Amino acid sequence: MAGTPEYPVRPSVFTGMLEWFGEFGSFLWGVFRAALHPPFEGREFIRQLDEIGARSLPLVALAGSAIGVVLSLEARQSLVRFGAKALLPSAIVFAVVTEMSPIITGLVVSGRVGAGIGAELAAMKVTEQIDAIEVSAVDPYKLLAVTRIAACIVCLPLLTVAASFCGVIMGWVATTLVEPVSLTHFIDAGFKGARFQDILPPTFKTSVYGLIIGSVASFQGMRAKGGAAGVGGSATTSVVLSSLFVILADVILVKLIILLFP
Protein backbone atom coordinates (compact mmCIF):
# COMPACT_ATOMS: atom_id res chain seq x y z
CA MET A 1 0.00 0.00 0.00
CA ALA A 2 1.32 3.38 -0.95
CA GLY A 3 2.51 5.48 1.92
CA THR A 4 2.89 2.52 4.28
CA PRO A 5 6.34 2.53 5.91
CA GLU A 6 8.39 -0.61 5.51
CA TYR A 7 10.24 -1.91 8.54
CA PRO A 8 13.13 -4.34 8.34
CA VAL A 9 12.22 -7.84 9.43
CA ARG A 10 14.41 -8.91 12.31
CA PRO A 11 15.22 -12.60 12.62
CA SER A 12 13.93 -14.35 15.71
CA VAL A 13 16.23 -15.38 18.52
CA PHE A 14 15.82 -19.02 17.54
CA THR A 15 16.73 -18.28 13.92
CA GLY A 16 19.75 -16.29 15.05
CA MET A 17 20.90 -19.18 17.23
CA LEU A 18 20.58 -21.62 14.33
CA GLU A 19 22.56 -19.29 12.07
CA TRP A 20 25.28 -18.91 14.72
CA PHE A 21 25.65 -22.63 15.24
CA GLY A 22 25.67 -23.20 11.48
CA GLU A 23 28.44 -20.66 10.97
CA PHE A 24 30.31 -22.04 13.98
CA GLY A 25 30.12 -25.57 12.61
CA SER A 26 31.45 -24.39 9.25
CA PHE A 27 34.28 -22.59 11.05
CA LEU A 28 35.21 -25.71 13.03
CA TRP A 29 35.27 -27.77 9.83
CA GLY A 30 37.62 -25.25 8.23
CA VAL A 31 39.86 -25.31 11.31
CA PHE A 32 39.90 -29.12 11.33
CA ARG A 33 40.91 -29.30 7.67
CA ALA A 34 43.60 -26.67 8.16
CA ALA A 35 45.03 -28.53 11.16
CA LEU A 36 45.56 -31.73 9.14
CA HIS A 37 47.64 -30.31 6.33
CA PRO A 38 51.23 -29.01 6.60
CA PRO A 39 52.98 -26.68 6.92
CA PHE A 40 52.35 -26.22 10.63
CA GLU A 41 52.87 -22.89 12.35
CA GLY A 42 55.20 -24.12 15.11
CA ARG A 43 56.62 -20.71 16.03
CA GLU A 44 53.17 -19.17 16.45
CA PHE A 45 52.06 -22.22 18.44
CA ILE A 46 54.97 -21.78 20.88
CA ARG A 47 54.13 -18.10 21.24
CA GLN A 48 50.54 -18.97 22.08
CA LEU A 49 51.68 -21.53 24.65
CA ASP A 50 53.51 -18.72 26.43
CA GLU A 51 50.62 -16.28 26.06
CA ILE A 52 47.88 -18.69 27.13
CA GLY A 53 49.76 -20.96 29.53
CA ALA A 54 52.61 -19.12 31.22
CA ARG A 55 50.82 -15.78 31.52
CA SER A 56 47.67 -17.37 32.90
CA LEU A 57 49.58 -19.32 35.55
CA PRO A 58 49.68 -16.60 38.28
CA LEU A 59 45.95 -15.96 38.06
CA VAL A 60 45.11 -19.67 38.02
CA ALA A 61 47.45 -20.36 40.95
CA LEU A 62 45.84 -17.55 42.94
CA ALA A 63 42.35 -18.90 42.21
CA GLY A 64 43.42 -22.42 43.20
CA SER A 65 44.94 -21.15 46.44
CA ALA A 66 41.75 -19.30 47.31
CA ILE A 67 39.72 -22.46 46.65
CA GLY A 68 41.91 -24.46 49.04
CA VAL A 69 41.62 -21.93 51.84
CA VAL A 70 37.85 -21.52 51.48
CA LEU A 71 37.24 -25.28 51.32
CA SER A 72 39.37 -25.81 54.42
CA LEU A 73 37.42 -23.23 56.41
CA GLU A 74 33.98 -24.33 55.23
CA ALA A 75 34.60 -28.09 55.33
CA ARG A 76 36.10 -27.97 58.82
CA GLN A 77 33.04 -26.29 60.24
CA SER A 78 30.69 -28.82 58.64
CA LEU A 79 32.74 -31.93 59.43
CA VAL A 80 33.30 -30.94 63.05
CA ARG A 81 29.55 -30.50 63.43
CA PHE A 82 28.98 -34.11 62.31
CA GLY A 83 31.96 -35.59 64.11
CA ALA A 84 33.93 -36.39 60.97
CA LYS A 85 36.91 -34.06 61.36
CA ALA A 86 39.32 -36.85 60.36
CA LEU A 87 37.89 -36.72 56.84
CA LEU A 88 38.95 -33.08 56.35
CA PRO A 89 42.09 -33.81 54.24
CA SER A 90 40.15 -36.17 51.96
CA ALA A 91 37.32 -33.69 51.60
CA ILE A 92 39.69 -30.90 50.59
CA VAL A 93 41.77 -33.01 48.20
CA PHE A 94 38.83 -34.66 46.45
CA ALA A 95 36.84 -31.44 46.13
CA VAL A 96 39.84 -29.51 44.77
CA VAL A 97 41.16 -32.15 42.36
CA THR A 98 37.96 -33.65 41.01
CA GLU A 99 35.80 -30.61 40.44
CA MET A 100 36.78 -27.21 41.83
CA SER A 101 40.16 -26.82 40.12
CA PRO A 102 38.94 -27.93 36.64
CA ILE A 103 35.88 -25.69 36.53
CA ILE A 104 37.56 -22.68 38.15
CA THR A 105 40.52 -23.00 35.77
CA GLY A 106 38.15 -23.20 32.81
CA LEU A 107 36.25 -20.09 33.88
CA VAL A 108 39.38 -18.10 34.73
CA VAL A 109 40.99 -18.94 31.40
CA SER A 110 37.77 -18.23 29.50
CA GLY A 111 37.74 -14.77 31.06
CA ARG A 112 41.37 -13.92 30.44
CA VAL A 113 42.25 -15.85 27.29
CA GLY A 114 38.79 -15.77 25.69
CA ALA A 115 38.67 -12.00 25.87
CA GLY A 116 42.27 -11.69 24.66
CA ILE A 117 41.83 -13.94 21.63
CA GLY A 118 38.48 -12.42 20.73
CA ALA A 119 39.76 -8.84 20.93
CA GLU A 120 43.05 -9.59 19.14
CA LEU A 121 41.49 -11.38 16.18
CA ALA A 122 38.62 -8.89 16.01
CA ALA A 123 41.10 -6.02 15.77
CA MET A 124 42.91 -7.87 12.97
CA LYS A 125 39.60 -8.46 11.22
CA VAL A 126 38.29 -4.90 11.30
CA THR A 127 41.66 -3.50 10.20
CA GLU A 128 41.74 -6.02 7.32
CA GLN A 129 44.92 -7.70 8.54
CA ILE A 130 43.28 -11.13 8.18
CA ASP A 131 42.44 -10.30 4.56
CA ALA A 132 46.07 -9.30 4.01
CA ILE A 133 47.24 -12.62 5.47
CA GLU A 134 44.94 -14.50 3.12
CA VAL A 135 46.15 -12.51 0.12
CA SER A 136 49.71 -13.44 1.10
CA ALA A 137 48.82 -17.11 0.47
CA VAL A 138 48.80 -17.94 4.19
CA ASP A 139 45.79 -19.79 5.57
CA PRO A 140 44.39 -17.57 8.36
CA TYR A 141 42.69 -20.60 9.92
CA LYS A 142 46.04 -22.36 10.24
CA LEU A 143 48.00 -19.34 11.46
CA LEU A 144 45.45 -17.68 13.73
CA ALA A 145 42.83 -20.23 14.80
CA VAL A 146 44.56 -23.63 14.85
CA THR A 147 47.54 -22.40 16.87
CA ARG A 148 45.36 -20.74 19.51
CA ILE A 149 42.93 -23.64 19.82
CA ALA A 150 45.76 -26.19 20.06
CA ALA A 151 47.53 -24.09 22.70
CA CYS A 152 44.32 -23.89 24.76
CA ILE A 153 43.85 -27.67 24.55
CA VAL A 154 47.43 -28.31 25.72
CA CYS A 155 47.55 -25.63 28.43
CA LEU A 156 44.26 -26.21 30.25
CA PRO A 157 45.20 -29.58 31.84
CA LEU A 158 48.61 -28.19 32.87
CA LEU A 159 47.01 -25.12 34.43
CA THR A 160 44.50 -27.37 36.19
CA VAL A 161 47.35 -29.37 37.74
CA ALA A 162 48.90 -26.11 38.96
CA ALA A 163 45.56 -24.97 40.42
CA SER A 164 45.08 -28.33 42.15
CA PHE A 165 48.58 -28.23 43.61
CA CYS A 166 48.10 -24.70 44.97
CA GLY A 167 44.65 -25.60 46.29
CA VAL A 168 45.90 -28.64 48.19
CA ILE A 169 48.92 -26.83 49.62
CA MET A 170 46.91 -23.81 50.74
CA GLY A 171 44.24 -26.11 52.13
CA TRP A 172 46.92 -27.68 54.29
CA VAL A 173 48.21 -24.25 55.33
CA ALA A 174 44.72 -23.12 56.36
CA THR A 175 44.16 -26.39 58.20
CA THR A 176 47.45 -26.35 60.09
CA LEU A 177 46.92 -22.76 61.22
CA VAL A 178 43.87 -23.96 63.14
CA GLU A 179 45.19 -27.38 64.19
CA PRO A 180 48.83 -28.20 63.36
CA VAL A 181 49.24 -31.21 61.06
CA SER A 182 52.26 -32.27 59.04
CA LEU A 183 52.15 -31.93 55.25
CA THR A 184 53.05 -35.60 54.84
CA HIS A 185 50.15 -36.74 57.02
CA PHE A 186 47.78 -34.33 55.26
CA ILE A 187 48.75 -35.61 51.79
CA ASP A 188 48.62 -39.27 52.86
CA ALA A 189 45.21 -38.85 54.44
CA GLY A 190 43.94 -36.76 51.54
CA PHE A 191 44.89 -39.21 48.81
CA LYS A 192 44.12 -42.34 50.83
CA GLY A 193 41.82 -44.49 48.73
CA ALA A 194 42.19 -42.28 45.65
CA ARG A 195 42.48 -44.02 42.28
CA PHE A 196 43.88 -42.81 38.98
CA GLN A 197 40.36 -42.66 37.55
CA ASP A 198 39.48 -40.26 40.36
CA ILE A 199 42.23 -37.82 39.34
CA LEU A 200 43.14 -38.18 35.67
CA PRO A 201 39.71 -37.90 33.94
CA PRO A 202 38.69 -34.73 35.83
CA THR A 203 42.06 -33.17 34.97
CA PHE A 204 42.13 -34.09 31.31
CA LYS A 205 38.49 -33.15 30.72
CA THR A 206 39.75 -29.57 30.76
CA SER A 207 41.18 -30.20 27.29
CA VAL A 208 37.56 -30.02 26.15
CA TYR A 209 37.27 -26.68 27.93
CA GLY A 210 40.35 -25.54 26.02
CA LEU A 211 38.79 -26.62 22.74
CA ILE A 212 35.64 -24.68 23.59
CA ILE A 213 37.42 -21.52 24.72
CA GLY A 214 39.84 -21.40 21.78
CA SER A 215 37.18 -22.22 19.19
CA VAL A 216 34.53 -19.80 20.41
CA ALA A 217 36.98 -16.91 20.93
CA SER A 218 38.66 -17.43 17.54
CA PHE A 219 35.30 -17.68 15.79
CA GLN A 220 33.93 -14.54 17.42
CA GLY A 221 37.11 -12.63 16.65
CA MET A 222 37.33 -13.66 13.00
CA ARG A 223 33.71 -12.71 12.28
CA ALA A 224 33.85 -9.26 13.93
CA LYS A 225 32.40 -6.23 12.17
CA GLY A 226 31.93 -2.58 12.94
CA GLY A 227 35.24 -1.08 13.98
CA ALA A 228 36.06 -0.49 17.64
CA ALA A 229 32.55 -1.39 18.76
CA GLY A 230 32.87 -4.71 16.98
CA VAL A 231 36.16 -5.44 18.76
CA GLY A 232 34.61 -4.81 22.16
CA GLY A 233 31.54 -6.82 21.29
CA SER A 234 33.63 -9.78 20.13
CA ALA A 235 35.67 -9.77 23.34
CA THR A 236 32.55 -9.64 25.50
CA THR A 237 30.69 -12.29 23.53
CA SER A 238 33.73 -14.57 23.57
CA VAL A 239 33.87 -14.50 27.36
CA VAL A 240 30.12 -14.96 27.84
CA LEU A 241 29.70 -17.80 25.35
CA SER A 242 32.86 -19.67 26.26
CA SER A 243 32.02 -19.50 29.98
CA LEU A 244 28.48 -20.71 29.32
CA PHE A 245 29.65 -23.59 27.13
CA VAL A 246 32.33 -24.57 29.66
CA ILE A 247 29.67 -24.85 32.38
CA LEU A 248 27.40 -26.92 30.11
CA ALA A 249 30.31 -29.12 29.07
CA ASP A 250 31.21 -29.67 32.72
CA VAL A 251 27.74 -31.03 33.45
CA ILE A 252 27.94 -33.44 30.51
CA LEU A 253 31.53 -34.53 31.17
CA VAL A 254 30.90 -35.21 34.86
CA LYS A 255 28.08 -37.55 33.90
CA LEU A 256 30.25 -39.28 31.29
CA ILE A 257 33.12 -39.73 33.74
CA ILE A 258 30.77 -41.27 36.30
CA LEU A 259 29.46 -43.70 33.67
CA LEU A 260 32.84 -44.61 32.18
CA PHE A 261 34.88 -44.68 35.39
CA PRO A 262 32.57 -45.94 38.14
* 67 pLDDT more than 80: yes
Higher pLDDT, 78 or 142: 142
128 and 225 Cβ atoms separated by less than 8 Å: no
Radius of gyration over every alpha carbon of the chain, rounded to an integer in angstroms: 22
Q: What integer is the mean pLDDT of 196-221? A: 90
Q: How confident is the model at residue 1 (pLDDT cuts 50, 70, 90)?
A: very low
Residue 29 in domain: no
**pLDDT score for 6:** 54
Domain residues for the domain of 90 are 41-260
Residue 72 in domain: yes
Highest mean pLDDT among 59-63, 93-97, 224-228: 59-63
Tally of structural domains, the chain: 1
Q: Which amino acid is at 20?
A: W
Phi and psi at 254, nearest 5°, equal: -60, -45
Residue 129 in domain: yes
Residue 226 in domain: yes
- Write the pLDDT tens digit of every residue in 46-58: 999 999 989 999 9
**pLDDT score for 155:** 94
* 84 pLDDT more than 80: no
How far apart (Å, rounded) are the C-alpha atoms in residues 77 and 75?
5
- Inter-CA distances, 92 with 97, 112, 172, Å: 8, 26, 9
Of 26, 225, 124, nearest in space to 34 by CA = 26
- Write the pLDDT tens digit of every residue in 123-166: 888 888 888 888 887 888 888 889 999 999 999 999 999 999 99
Residue 3 in domain: no
3-state secondary structure the chain: CCCCCCCCCCCCHHHHHHHHHHHHHHHHHHHHHHHHCCCCCHHHHHHHHHHHHHCCHHHHHHHHHHHHHHHHHHHHHHHHHCCCHHHHHHHHHHHHHHHHHHHHHHHHHHHHHHHHHHHHHHHHHHCCHHHHHHHCCCCHHHHHHHHHHHHHHHHHHHHHHHHHHHHHHHHHHHHHHHCCCCHHHHHHHHCCCCCHHHHHHHHHCHHHHHHHHHHHHHHHHHCCCCHHHHHHHHHHHHHHHHHHHHHHHHHHHHHHHHHHCC
- Write the pLDDT tens digit of every residue in 223-253: 888 777 878 888 899 999 999 999 999 999 9
Residue 21 in domain: no
Residue 8 in domain: no
**pLDDT score for 7:** 53
* 63 pLDDT more than 90: yes
Of 1, 118, 132, 114, nearest in space to 56 by CA = 114
Axis crossing angle, helix 227-260 with helix 196-204, rounded to the nearest 10: 160
Q: How confident is the model at residue 59 (pLDDT cuts 50, 70, 90)?
A: very high
Residue 198 in domain: yes
**pLDDT score for 66:** 93
Q: Which amino acid is at 247?
A: I
Tell me what the pLDDT averaged over the chain comes to: 86
